[in-house]
């Protein structure tokens, strides 16, 4: 797909994977509608990219259905078309189900599953008007295999993966591409700012960068791939663990020990950098 002059809506577009994706689409000449809750961060990324392309921002809660409808109206008003929707916004409150507030469990489903479903539904008339396009959902390997301390998050991402595949069947032949990228751990604040609460199992898998995931999102807009697992070998591992629960039980302790060592190294390196900082 040629992205020049296409209109791309990116939720969670102010930082991390969303900001990296915005930068790549900007380099390709796409018009951007960036969405996040915080206006300040949105204004910062918009200011960075406006030398390259047109950028509009929309500060909103993606679980607000009226705001979701207004988002598409604004994008169409500003650019006259909508071509691509990237459902990237996410929320994760880590901890065992018994220890996580019930409202936070509900919020994980609202942000990680309900919002992408609503936004995808609202996008369809605009994509059809544009003659086709793409909806790319940012899932997670947590949605493919059980992850300790992440039951609510995993449930939302598993549902998002299933929704992607089901909607793809409904839209076969429409010219609208449906795909999901399923990364393992990503080296962004989404994990690193909450490293102590993140499971050791998570760190048993190689870290992707926000740029890696962003490139996968752009590639999925045009290729014939329905799901891109990242890294590829981690995708194979999660598939095997989901198909063979007995194998998962035997392998998990080994992976957790590996992850604990990786986490310890990351924390030690961070502490070393902080001690070498001129502010200390």
Q: What is the C-alpha to C-alpha distance for residues 185 and 237, in angstroms, rounded to an integer? A: 14
CB 235 within 8 Å of CB 229: yes
Alpha-helical (H) ranges within the chain are 16-27, 39-49, 65-79, 102-109, 115-129, 151-170, 189-192, 210-220, 232-243, 245-276
* Beta strand 133-138 pairing with 227-230: unpaired
* Residues in contact with 255: Cβ distance below 8 Å, sequence separation at least 6, in sequence order: 201, 204
CA end-to-end distance (rounded Å), the chain = 49
Of 190, 220, 175, 218, the residue nearest 26 (C-alpha): 218
Q: How open is the CA angle 163-167-170, to the nearest 5 degrees? A: 150
Tokens of 149: 């301390």
CA 87 to chain centre: 7
What is residue 5's DSSP assignment? T
Residue from 229, 129, 131, 141 nearest 179 by CA: 229
Strand partners, 57: 34
- Identify the bridge partners of residue 229 per DSSP, sorted by sequence position: 182
Supply the residues annotated as catalytic: 153
């Amino acid at each position: 797909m040629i992205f020049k002059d296409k209109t791309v809506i990116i939720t969670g577009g102010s930082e991390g994977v969303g900001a990296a994706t915005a930068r790549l689409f900007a380099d390709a000449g796409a018009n951007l509608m960036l969405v996040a809750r915080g206006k300040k961060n949105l204004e910062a990324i918009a200011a960075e990219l406006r030398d390259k392309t047109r950028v509009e921002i929309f500060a909103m809660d993606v679980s607000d259905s009226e705001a979701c409808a207004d988002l598409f109206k604004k994008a169409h008003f500003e650019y006259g078309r909508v071509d691509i929707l990237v459902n990237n916004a996410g929320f994760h409150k880590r901890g065992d189900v018994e220890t996580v507030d019930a409202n936070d469990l509900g919020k994980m489903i609202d942000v990680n599953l309900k919002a992408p479903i609503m936004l995808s539904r609202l996008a369809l008339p605009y994509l059809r008007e544009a003659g086709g396009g793409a909806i790319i959902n940012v899932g997670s390997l947590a949605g493919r295999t059980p992850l300790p301390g992440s039951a609510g998050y995993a449930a939302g991402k598993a549902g998002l993966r299933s929704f992607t595949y089901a909607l793809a069947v409904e839209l076969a032949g429409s010219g609208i591409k449906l795909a999901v990228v399923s990364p393992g751990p990503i080296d962004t604040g989404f994990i690193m700012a909450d490293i102590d609460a993140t499971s050791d199992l998570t760190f048993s898998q190689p870290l992707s960068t926000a740029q890696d995931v962003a490139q996968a999102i752009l590639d999925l807009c045009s290729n014939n791939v329905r799901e891109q697992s990242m890294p590829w070998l981690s995708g194979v591992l999660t598939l095997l663990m989901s198909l063979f629960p007995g194998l998962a039980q035997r392998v998990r302790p080994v992976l957790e020990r590996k992850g604990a060592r990786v986490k310890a190294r990351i924390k030690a390196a961070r502490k070393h950098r902080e001690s070498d900082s001129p502010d200390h």
